Chains A and B, each alone.
Chain A
Amino acid sequence: MSTVDVAKKDFLDVRRAKIVWFVGAFYTLFMVLLVYFGQNGRSDPTILGALWNLTAIGAMFIPLIALVTAYLAIAGERESGGIKYLLSIPNSRRDVVLGKFATRTAIVSASIVVAFLVGGVLTLLWYPSPEMDTFGIMAALTVLYALTYVAVAIAISAATASRSRAMGGSIAFFFITSVLNVFGPLQLAIDYVLNDLAGLEVSMNQIAFVQSLVSPTAAYVNSTGLAFPEGFNTIPPDLPWFLQGETMLVVMLAWLVVPLALGIWQFERADLG
């Protein structure tokens, strides 16, 4: 399997890139701070609150980790010409995309898992009721969430010929699907298009569903119902099936598979001059 050969070499290469470890360490630091301040000075601390805050911060921070780790994976090699070494030996273009996805996935997953392990240990030490179920499910959801952005970054990287375009594409995608989602305009825009322009009279729930389809961040936030007890914080009770956590998992899996497929398709037909 030359996907494995591509991945082995890429891992050797990228693990020596300091920026990748830097953002990973930064996320772990976030985790430690939230877990610490979640219990500091409170008589009856609950880890659920800290995890909830982590979700809110992670909604925008996790995509950054993923994009920084992956956006140059292929475009950088196209610009430097290293791609010609990769493809002069028995590697197919699909091997290159999948191999790069595998390594960047491993690195991003590792940094999130490390952050949750550190946070988990501190939680066991500091909290009377550590809620390890919620902790574990949140870790898994967060890894899946990160991988959707890794897949998108790899796809953008595969479809662009230079570092600057890969960066531009990644920032644009991040801004629209994550920043605009978190601060609200994305939802307003969907509402405007579907209800005001098209006059479809869709409900807020349906808008939230469309929002989850176009934004992995929205899907991630809506999926947290799987981890938290029913009705916790702002999670509304009696959600329709299309906003249930399970549906959101499917949406996130689609965000993983579809961009990769598009990336492979684009890369296979590109001229690498």
Chain B
Amino acid sequence: MAAIQTTGLTKRYGKSILAVDDLDLTVEEGEVFGFLGPNGAGKSTTINMLLDFVRPTEGSATVLGLDAQADTDEIRHRIGVLPEGASVYDRLTAREHLEWVIDTKDVDDDPDALLEKVGLTSDDGDRPAGDYSKGMAQRLGFGMALAGDPDLLILDEPSSGLDPAGMQEMREIISNEADRGTTVFFSSHILGEVEAVCDRIGIMNEGRLVATGTLDDLQGELDLGAPITLEVATVPETLALDELAGVRSVTVEDATITATCADPSVKVDVVRHVAEVTTVRDIVSEDVSLEQLFNTYTNGERDEGAATPEASA
């Protein structure tokens, strides 16, 4: 059973705005799924439809095999949600927030254990949330999402408001939850955090899902090539590197040679070839970064005619 499945999910606002366009998305049980896209791509609208905050114009969605609109009560018992841009209650303390969620979900978590899990101290727990920084409020929201050991975590932009250390902690908590078998679905416009924790990613752009798959799948699908950079003592006049089989392009800048290879296995040929004609000082071999992938998908750099890659695992 899929943790999340949408079929032809569409949301129109008025006649002209198509926020989500015919979305078919499947998130398998137990995986960490990163839902990527620039602001306004339709990520939040999709999540709002999964949570029954917003009703689809067409199509349907299931969460944990339950109908997203008809079975909200059972769904809300079994999931944890960190909504985007939601303010906590200024006049309630963190502990009161957590006790309220625990009561409503009818579970028996210890508020202090939850506070500790998200990096808030017991003293923080007794202060009204109105005194919190944005990062602390976000941590509290995360603690509320974790109450009741949910089967599925839906996190809308979980890192917003957090500093780099907080983002790192957030990633660790997500990994820990995933290790315990929790499915995690989170949206982000920050690429780095997705790369580090996700099993699979989906990229939204202008209301459409333009790609899904593992990072490797997407890289293979896009065929962006594998770059290698060599730092050399002197650049020889007759390099002729682009004549080497499997090398697509070569750029030379001062003492730095960058070659893009059709396949990573060609990189060793590049190194050998350059080493024969000059002294190699350093070698930097990179994967295609997610950022490059992302830009390719969202800026329309790909051929318009190409079909949406269906590289699902």
Query: Which residues of A does B touch, CB under 8 Å?
Result: 2, 5, 8-9, 12-13, 16-17, 80-85, 87-92, 269, 271-273
Contact = CB atoms under 8 A, between A and B. Distances in A.
A5 B88 contact: no
Central interface residue in B53, B79, B80, by most chain A CB within 10 Å: B53
Q: Would you list the 10 A-B pairs with minimal beta carbon distance, nearest first? A: A81-B86, A84-B83, A88-B81, A16-B91, A90-B76, A5-B104, A272-B53, A84-B86, A80-B87, A9-B100
17 contacts: A5-B103, A8-B100, A8-B103, A12-B91, A13-B92, A81-B86, A84-B83, A84-B86, A85-B88, A85-B144, A87-B76, A88-B76, A88-B80, A89-B81, A89-B104, A90-B77, A90-B104
Contacts of A273: 44-45, 48, 53-54
B54 A271 contact: yes
A91 B104 contact: yes
B7 to A, nearest CB: 20
A268 B73 CA distance: 14
Contact of B51 (A8, A87, A269): A87
A88 B88 CA distance: 13
Interface of B: 44-45, 48, 51-55, 72-73, 76-77, 79-81, 83-89, 91-92, 96, 100-101, 103-106, 141, 144-145
Contacts of B87: 80-82
Nearest to A89: B104
Given A88-B81, A92-B73, A82 B88 contact: yes
A81 B141 CA distance: 12
Contacts of A13: 89, 91-92
B92 to A, nearest CB: 6
Nearest to B78: A90
A91 B76 contact: yes
B73 A90 contact: yes
A84 B88 contact: no
Contact of B83 (A8, A81, A91, A92): A81
Contacts of A269: 55
A17 B91 CA distance: 8
Contacts of B101: 89
Contact of B86 (A8, A80, A91): A80
B48 A2 contact: no
A82 B91 contact: no
Given A88-B79, A89-B144, 12 more contacts: A5-B104, A8-B103, A12-B100, A80-B86, A80-B87, A84-B51, A84-B53, A87-B51, A87-B53, A87-B76, A90-B73, A273-B54
Nearest to B49: A271
A269 B87 CA distance: 23
A92 B72 CA distance: 8
B259 to A, nearest CB: 48
B280 to A, nearest CB: 55
B86 A9 contact: no
Contacts of B104: 2, 5, 9, 89-91
B86 A271 contact: no
A161 to B, nearest CB: 12
A150 to B, nearest CB: 20
Contacts of B45: 273
B205 to A, nearest CB: 19
A99 B91 CA distance: 18
Nearest to B52: A87
Contacts of B44: 273
A81 B106 CA distance: 23
B21 to A, nearest CB: 16
A91 B84 CA distance: 19
A148 B141 CA distance: 35
A82 B89 contact: yes
A271 B91 contact: no
A90 B80 CA distance: 11
Contacts of B72: 92
A84 B51 CA distance: 9
A2 B83 CA distance: 20
B44 to A, nearest CB: 8
Nearest to B96: A12
A9 B104 CA distance: 10
Contacts of B91: 12-13, 16-17
A12 B96 CA distance: 9
B170 to A, nearest CB: 18
Contacts of A88: 51, 76, 79-81, 83, 145
B54 A272 contact: yes
Contacts of B84: 81
A92 B77 CA distance: 12
